Amino acid sequence: MARRLRPVELEFVESAPLRLVFAAEVTAPPKAVYAALADDVAGWSSWFTGVARATSTHGGQGREVRLTGGTRFTETVLAAEPDEHYAYRVDTTNAPGLRALLEDWRLTPAAGGGTRLRWMFAADGPAPFRWALLLARPGLGRAFRESARTLDHRLGRI
């Protein structure tokens, strides 16, 4: 059963009880990476590890995401700055323990026309939940790096 989370704003990335930050460089330019993040939401399932289905809602102001294990999220887009910044908060989920979640993607130009991609996962939940996320950090990092590589390959073919 889906339940409503605390509605956080962009400032939550600074105040969240738990912040996990991952970074990678891809050869694709920021414009192409941003388009994959913000404009081709349905395409996430072809490159982001664990995403089974993603749909843009409310004219691009929201998203519905289903992970391969059955976890579901409805989200509100909080930042959509072309070629630079894309962020969204989770409004409802069936994931246990979560009180608030915001994901923040920053894109900066890298050498040779590529993109430095930074993903911040800002979350709140009870102490056992935060502890479990800290234990999951290495796996989330691997999934992020694998997803960034897959996205880069996908963008190279488009």
The predicted structure's pLDDT at residue 156? 87
Q: pLDDT band at residue 47, thresholds of 50, 70 and 90?
A: very high
Whether the model clears a pTM of 0.85, i.e. scores above it, the answer is yes
Kindly write down the DSSP assignment for every residue of the chain, as one continuous string.
Answer: --EEPP---TTHHHH-SEEEEEEEEESS-HHHHHIIIII-GGGGGGTSTTEEEEEEEGGGTEEEEEETTS-EEEEEEEEEETTTEEEEEEEEE--TT-SEEEEEEEEEE-GGG-EEEEEEEEEE--HHHHHHHHHHHHHHHHHHHHHHHHHHHHHHH-
Class of the CATH domain delimited by 18-157: alpha beta
Domain map (residue ranges) of the chain: 18-157
Which tens digit of pLDDT belongs to each residue from 18-31? Answer: 999 999 999 999 99
The predicted structure's pLDDT at residue 157? 67
pLDDT at 126 over 60: yes
Mean pLDDT of 116-127: 97
pLDDT at 14 over 70: yes
Percent of the residues in the chain that have a pLDDT greater than 90, as a whole number: 96
